[in-house]
Structure 1
Amino acid sequence: MELEVRHLRALCAIADTGSVHKAARQLGVSQPSLTTQLRRIENFLGAALFSRERTGCRPTPLGRAVLSRARPLVAEMRALVVEAKAAAAGDGGHRLRIGSTASRALAGWLRRLRQRLPGTDISLHVDVSANALLRMVAVGQLDVAFVHEVEGCPLLVPDGLSLRVLVEREPQFVSMARDHPAAAAAVVDLAELAHDRWMVDPTVDGEWDALRRVLCAAGIDPPVLHGDYHTAATLIAVGEAVAPCQPTSLPHDDMAIRPLSGDPLAVRLLLFSRPGPSAELHEAVYADLTDAYREAAMRAAGYRQWLLRHNSPLLETTAPAPLPVA
């Protein structure tokens, strides 16, 4: 066996996510397959690269040494692929490559960008991992990334990226069945959900750690289900679970969205880009994102009321940014 780029990429993914399960999902492979691959790499090198702990995988001293050499190689290979594809396209047209975690603002953002930048090839890459998107910006696979940073769980921001803050603290609401007893109130206390099953997606960077910390601080230890939020929606509708959700989420006939008392769960909404000649374009991109987010916020009645109660600056309208100079 010889170490290949795909092996190094797997090691970096495990280190970045802190979990073989999360890394496998990020790489698009099965967890058993990645576990087997890691075992073969460690057998080849003759020692463990990660220590398996209850909270996840941590690099050993040897693992840190290997990663320090692997990361630049993986980054260079990604950059090479991006540049080669761009050269092969050779059409000289304008393009804007956007990355984002899930957001209700995406549709309005893309609509505004297409109106602002006719003739520009605009692509979108959505990922549950904000850290993965930031790495893609750093190596040139994306031009900008709109991500959320879970409070208390800082993102791993590569050197050299520019940052714009869209929302300093966005509260996370809770979704529950429409007939849940707590849904009768405009604001829900965590104690009212102490006996519910909570569902969280462990592949979303920091989300499970933040929820666990908040529940512990509230003195409750409810059963927790791990799964994606598409599955969660089905379970929530029939009363089998509750889950944290974005305040811009729109309720369904069988589901209620409510703010939590004291807003214990929150995220920062951030736009990252690489500095360079496109800085003026990125300002326009940020302005359109701000307007799209405000539009999504105003559509969600519960969030709109929350913003009014907190006298949020999001309620203030701003003039659109000028078109970037070609």
Structure 2
Amino acid sequence: MELEVRHLRVLCAIADAGSLHKAARSLGMSQPSLTTQLRRIENALGAQLFSRERTGCRPTPLGLDVLSRARPLVAQLALLVSETRAAAARVDGARLRIGSTASRALAGWLRRLRKRLPGTDISLHMDVSAGALLRALAAGQLDVAFVHEVEGCPLRVPDGLERRVLVDREPQFISMARDHPAAAAPVVDVADLAEDRWMVDPSVDGEWDGLRRVLGAAGIDPPVLHADYHTAASLIVAGEAVAPCQPTSGPRDDMAIRPLRDDPLAVRLLLYHRPGGCSLHDAAYAELAAAYREAALRTAAYRHWLLRHDSPLLRAA
């Protein structure tokens, strides 16, 4: 097996993610496939590059040396590709490459941008990892990245990126089965869910650390299930789990979504971009703000929360 640039990219992804599970998600492949590929790379080099631990993967001393040489090569190739594509875009027409974590505002944002920027080639790349999107943005693979940052868990932001704050503090609500006893109240105490199994997706940057902090502050230690949020819905409806959710979620006939008392769990919504291209970035931010406001006011529970807190979103509307 000959070592190729794609293999170096795999090594960098594992080192950045800190685990095979997260790296596989960021690369869009299964964990078993990534494990097999890493084993082949290590066999080709004749050395172990990562030590597998219970908490994740850490580069060995030799792995650190390989990574120090691999990163510049990967970065230079990414720069070559992005500059070539940018040059082609200037010839072929305007282009806007959007990266985003999950949000109910996405559909409205794309609709508004297509209306505001006719003739622009607008593409969307989604990822559960805000960190992966920011690295792609820094490498020139994206033009803007809409991400959320879990309170108390700051993102690792590559140098040179500029940021605009969309929402300084968005509360995270809780989703549960429609017939859950706590669903009878308009606001739920974290302590009322001490006997429930909580679901969290550990591949979402900061999600598990943020939830662990909130549960600890409430003095409870409930069972926790690590899974992706697509799987979560069926478990929540069946009464097998509860999970944090965005306040713009819902409504659903088979699920209750309620605010948490005192809003202990929150995120910041941020739009990142590289320097330059001010008019395009201004347009992207303005239409995102309008689309988010539209999604927020469409959801009754979040609209009531905004009214109680005299949110600037209402004044903007």
Shorter-chain TM-score range: over 0.9
Q: CA deviation at 1:103?
A: 0.4
SS of residue in 2 equivalent to 1:168: strand
Q: Secondary structure at the match of 2:275?
A: coil
TM-score in terms of structure 1 length: 0.90
Residue 235 of structure 2: aligned partner: 235
> SS of the residue aligned with 1:316?
helix
Q: Is 1:63–2:63 an aligned residue pair?
A: yes
CA-to-partner distance for each residue in 1:148-187, whole Å, 9 max, x for gaps? 0112222121111111011111111110011100011111
Secondary structure of the residue aligned to 1:125 is: strand
Q: Distance in 1 between matches of 2:85 and 2:119?
A: 20
For 2:98 and 2:36, locate their aligned partners in 1 and report how far apart those are by CA, in whole Å.
Answer: 34
CA apart distance, 1:312: 1.8
Tell me whether 1:283 sits opposite 2:282 in the alignment.
yes
Q: Partners in 1 of 2:217 and 2:3 — Cα distance? A: 45
| Correspondence for 1:226 | 226
Which amino acid in structure 1 is aligned with residue 16 of structure 2?
D
Q: Which amino acid aligns with 2:258?
A: R
1:215 deviation in Å?
1.7
Structure-1 separation of matches of 2:139 and 2:227: 30
> Is 1:189–2:211 an aligned residue pair?
no
**How far did 1:296 drift?**
0.9
Deviation string 1:235-265 (CA, Å, 9 cap, x unpaired) is 1112111111001111201111111122121
> Which residue of structure 1 aligns with residue 135 of structure 2?
135
Distance between the aligned counterparts of 1:155 and 1:59, measured in 2?
21
| TM-superposition CA deviations, 1:21-48 (whole Å, max 9, x none) | 1111221222222223323434454554
Kept in 1: contact 2:89–2:95 (CA 8 A): no
Distance apart, 1:142 and its partner CA: 0.8
Following the alignment from structure 1 to structure 2, what is the Cα–Cα distance between the partners of residues 144 and 45? 37
2:172 matches 1:172: yes
Q: Deviations over 1:196-240 (max 9, x none)?
A: 111122221121222123223322222222222222111111211
TM-score w.r.t. length of structure 2: 0.93
Structure 1 match to 2:145: 145
Aligned to 2:124: 124
- In 1, distance between residues paired with 2:275 and 2:87? 21
Residue 12 of structure 1: aligned partner: 12
The match for 1:322 is: none
Secondary structure of 2:119 counterpart: coil
Name the SS for the 1:26 alignment partner.
helix
Residue identity in the other structure for 1:279? C
- The Cα RMSD (Å) is 2.0
Specify the alignment match of 1:254 in structure 2: 254
2:208 is matched with 208
Letter in 1 for 2:278: A
User: What is the aligned partner in structure 2 of residue 273 from structure 1?
Assistant: 273
User: Which 4+ runs in 1 deviate beyond 6 A?
Assistant: none
* Cα 1:216/1:52, change in 2 over 3 Å: farther
What amino acid sits opposite 1:284 in the alignment?
Answer: A
Corresponding residue for 2:315? 316
Q: Distance in 2 between matches of 1:93 and 1:19?
A: 39
Residue 51 (structure 1) shift: 3.3
Distance across 1 between alignment mates of 2:30 and 2:295: 35
Residues 100 and 146 of structure 2 are in contact (CA less than 8 Å); yes or no, is this contact kept in structure 1?
A: yes
| CA deviation string 1:255-310 (max 9, x = no partner) | 1111112212111110000112x112211211111111111111111111212222
The CA distance in 2 between the partners of 1:190 and 1:122, in whole Å, is: 41
1:214 and 1:59, CA in 2 relative to 1: closer, same or farther beyond 3 A?
farther
Listed as ranges, the gaps of 5+ residues in structure 1 are 319-326
Select between 208-217 and 238-247 the one with higher mean Cα deviation.
Answer: 208-217
The 2-side partners of 1:314 and 1:212 are apart by 29
What is the identity percentage for the equivalent residue pairs of Structure 1 and Structure 2? 80
Contact 2:138 2:161 in 1 (8 A): yes
Report the equivalent of 1:23. Answer: 23
